[in-house]
Amino acid sequence: MNIKSKCFGCGKFFDLLKQFTFCPICSGALVSEGQETKKYFQYLLKKYQWLSLGEGNTSLICLENNLFAKCETQNPTGSFKDRGSLLEVAFALENNYKTLVFASTGNMAVSLSAYCAKAKIKCRVLVPKSTPPEKIELPKLYGAEIEVVDGNYDLAASLAIKESLTGKKMLVGDYLLRRVGQESCGREIAGEVSNVDWLIVPVGNGTIFSSVTDGYFGSAKNLSTKMIGVQGKKCNPVFRAWKNNEQIVPLVQPETVGAFFKVGNPGDGNLVLDCLKKSGGVIIEAGDEELIKAKKDLARNYGLLVNYASASVWTAYDKLLKKKVIKSKDKVVLVLTGR
**Ordered structural domains, the chain, with CATH:** 1-47 (no CATH), 60-79+182-336 (3.40.50.1100)
Residues 77-96 have a mean pLDDT of 97
Residues 298-323 have a mean pLDDT of 97
Residues 51-70 have a mean pLDDT of 97
pLDDT score for 105 = 83
Report the largest interatomic distance among the alpha carbons of the chain, rounded to a whole angstrom: 56
Q: pLDDT per residue over 185-227, tens digit each?
A: 999 999 999 999 999 999 999 999 999 999 999 998 878 999 9
CA distance linking residue 166 with residue 264, whole number of Å: 26
Closest to 316 measured CA to CA, from 209, 194, 224:
209
Burial (CB count within 10 angstroms: exposed 0-12, middle 13-18, buried 19+), residue 338: buried
CA distance linking residue 176 with residue 156, whole number of Å: 19
pLDDT score for 93 = 98
> Which amino acid does the sequence have at 275?
C
Return mean pLDDT, the chain. Answer: 95
pLDDT band, very low/low/confident/very high, at 168 (cuts 50, 70, 90): confident
CA distance linking residue 219 with residue 223, whole number of Å: 9
pLDDT score for 129 = 87
- Asked whether the predicted pLDDT for residue 1 surpasses 80, the reply is no
**Residues belonging to the chain:** 339
Q: pLDDT per residue over 109-135, tens digit each?
A: 999 999 999 999 999 999 988 888 888
pLDDT score for 94 = 97
- Asked whether the predicted pLDDT for residue 254 surpasses 90, the reply is no
pLDDT > 90: what percent of the chain? 88
DSSP 250: -
pLDDT band, very low/low/confident/very high, at 102 (cuts 50, 70, 90): very high
